[in-house]
């Protein structure tokens, strides 16, 4: 992965990891002030948020957010329908702004737009969609500037607001993480999909042809989910799932480790055992044939079942697979499959984080004998947050890879919903009034 990251930074169009330039060359300092909005689009839900920032002393004075689920038909419809839906929810949210938020007279409201799909940015506030991932597929949006699409939809709603920052969720999480802790150098998302961003030395980006940023840094959105390699062991289940997906051959690393897919891999293994070994009796349960019926949160619930008769596993198999009575042995096998799939994912995710640390030169003790700098990785996403066996396996693997000395200086930190506040902070630092 590190080799592919270097190819991506050179601009090699065949690089497996795109290493997108984000135009974020400064992360939040804590001095940000004023009222800002953020909108986070990237998975099953989208979030709108407003925050009143009070500068170095007061920090976050007030914040409110709302979560809206995206009707599935909008994820595969037209660009206009999706953006109209989002703009309308945003507009309704703005209407509920209370007196504890203050916009100075004569100023326009400003928004940080978190858009968690690969985008080729041309500035901090513009960029064209490269491709959809994670179950979205809206052909007429590919190649379009997502800021202008959202802007037009906001105009159609009569909403007067300027989008001052377009950021990937990893970049938002990095910004939010840095605001909370100055030692944050990278951010990882493990939710519906997976991705990573980190602070790169601008001199180490051969494809960057602009002026060298004054900070000397540039945040890179790795888009590591698209990594693939013949060194990644793909099983028959992975191959079949990929083949039948909306994006065959793409996002292979993501398909091995992220929340959208883990439950589906478990389902495919159970289905094979139902066919070949009559796991659920002589007939294969028809519900088990349905792609994506077994969701990762259900897998996690089964995996965490520590009751002596694996009661939760039994209940989930009844609900999801439609088999009312399962033997303890069948429940045990199911739980064991969850364990294998989750452990593989967690170990591969930890390997990716180790790759980022290697790229940053934070994978070994400094050669000159000096102290290892404190290194914080901000992590977010429902998979990491809620799937405890996954996150603890990820952490212990990272410790194994780094060794005791280095890992004592490396901290992983949950940056809960850091991307929303991060986008608002970046909207503030790129304000038209700043
Ligand atoms: P997104 O990635 O869509 O922005 P989140 O970060 O909230 O959203 O992640 C949601 C994903 O996290 C879900 O698709 C699911 O795969 C995973 N997830 C949520 N809750 C759990 C859970 N309890 N156990 C395991 N995975 C979960
Ligand atoms: Mg998200």
Choice from 258, 294, 296 to test ligand 1 binding pocket (greatest atom count within 8 A of CB): 296
CA dist 382 and 224 (Å) reads: 18
For ligand 1, atom 13, which residue shows the shortest CA distance? 192
Q: Which ligand is nearest to the CA of 173?
A: 2
For ligand 1, atom 4, which residue shows the shortest CA distance? 43
Q: By the 8 A CB rule, do 196 and 189 touch?
A: yes
What is the value of ipTM here, to two decimals?
0.99
b/e sequence 105-131, b meaning 16+ C-beta within 10 Å: eeeebbbbbbbbbbbebeebbbbbbbb
Candidates 288, 296, 400, 397; CA nearest to 342 is 296
| 25, 84, 145, 169: the active-site residue | 169
Q: Where are the alpha helices (DSSP H) in 96-226?
A: 146-156, 169-180
For ligand 1, atom 7, which residue shows the shortest CA distance? 382
Classified as helix, coil or strand, 365 is coil
How does pLDDT run along the chain (434 residues), one tens digit per residue?
999 999 999 999 999 999 999 999 999 999 999 999 999 998 778 999 999 999 999 999 999 999 999 999 999 999 999 999 999 999 999 999 999 999 999 999 999 999 999 999 999 999 999 999 998 999 999 999 999 999 999 999 999 999 999 999 999 999 999 999 999 999 999 999 999 999 999 999 999 999 999 999 999 999 999 999 999 989 999 999 999 999 999 999 999 999 999 999 999 999 999 999 999 999 999 999 999 999 999 999 999 999 999 999 999 999 999 999 999 999 999 999 999 999 999 999 999 999 999 999 999 999 999 999 999 999 999 999 999 999 999 999 999 999 999 999 999 999 987 889 999 999 999 999 98
Atom of ligand 1 nearest to the CA of 390: 25
Neighbours of 57 (CB within 10 A): 7
Q: Which helix (H) or strand (E) holds 376?
A: strand 375-380
CA dist 164 and 392 (Å) reads: 37
Q: What share of the chain is helix, strand, coil (3-state, %, to 5)?
A: 45, 20, 35
β 33-41/375-380 pair status: unpaired
Could you tell me what percent of the chain has a pLDDT over 90? Answer: 97
pTM confidence score: 0.96
Enter the tokens of residue 83.
């953006």
Read off the pLDDT of residues 119-157 as tens digits, 9 standing for 90 and up: 999 999 999 999 999 989 999 999 999 999 999 999 999
């Amino acid at each position: 992965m590190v080799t592919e990251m270097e190819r991506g930074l050179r601009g090699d169009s065949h690089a497996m990891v795109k290493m997108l330039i984000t135009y974020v060359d400064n992360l939040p300092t804590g001095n940000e002030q004023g009222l800002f909005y953020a909108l986070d689009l990237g998975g099953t839900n989208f979030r709108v948020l407003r925050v009143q920032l009070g500068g170095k002393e007061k920090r976050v004075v007030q914040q409110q957010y709302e979560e809206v689920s995206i009707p599935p038909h909008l994820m595969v419809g037209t660009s206009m329908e999706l953006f109209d839906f989002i703009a309308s929810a945003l507009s309704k949210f703005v209407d509920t702004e209370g007196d504890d938020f203050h916009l100075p007279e004569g100023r326009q409201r400003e928004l940080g737009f978190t858009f968690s799909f690969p985008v080729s940015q041309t500035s901090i506030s513009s960029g064209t969609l490269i491709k959809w991932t994670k179950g979205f597929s809206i052909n007429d949006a590919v190649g379009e500037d997502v800021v202008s699409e959202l802007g037009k939809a906001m105009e159609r709603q009569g909403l007067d607001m300027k989008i001052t920052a377009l950021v990937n969720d990893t970049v938002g999480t990095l910004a939010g993480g840095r605001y909370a802790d100055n030692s944050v150098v990278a951010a990882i998302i493990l939710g519906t999909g997976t991705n990573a961003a980190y602070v790169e030395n601008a001199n180490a980006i051969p494809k960057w042809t602009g002026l060298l940023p004054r900070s000397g840094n540039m945040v890179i959105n790795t888009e590591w989910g698209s990594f693939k390699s013949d060194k990644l062991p793909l099983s028959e289940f992975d191959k079949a799932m990929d083949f039948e997906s909306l994006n065959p051959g793409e996002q292979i690393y993501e398909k091995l480790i992220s929340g959208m897919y883990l439950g589906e891999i478990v389902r495919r293994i159970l289905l094979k055992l139902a066919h070949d070994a009559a796991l659920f009796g002589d007939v294969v349960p028809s519900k088990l044939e349905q792609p994506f019926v077994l969701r990762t949160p259900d897998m996690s619930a089964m995996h965490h079942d520590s009751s002596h008769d694996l009661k939760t596993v039994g209940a989930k198999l009844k609900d999801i697979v439609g088999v009312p009575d399962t033997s303890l042995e069948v429940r045990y096998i199911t739980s064991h499959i969850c364990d294998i799939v989750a452990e593989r994912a967690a170990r591969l995710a930890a390997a990716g984080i180790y790759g980022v640390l290697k790229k940053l030169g934070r994978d070994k003790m400094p050669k000159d004998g000096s102290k290892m700098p404190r290194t914080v990785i901000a992590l977010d996403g429902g998979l990491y947050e809620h799937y405890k066996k996954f996150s603890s396996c990820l952490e212990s693997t990272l410790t194994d890879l780094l060794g005791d000395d280095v890992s004592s200086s490396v901290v992983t930190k949950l940056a809960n919903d850091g991307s929303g506040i991060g986008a608002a902070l970046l909207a503030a630092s790129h304000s038209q009034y700043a």
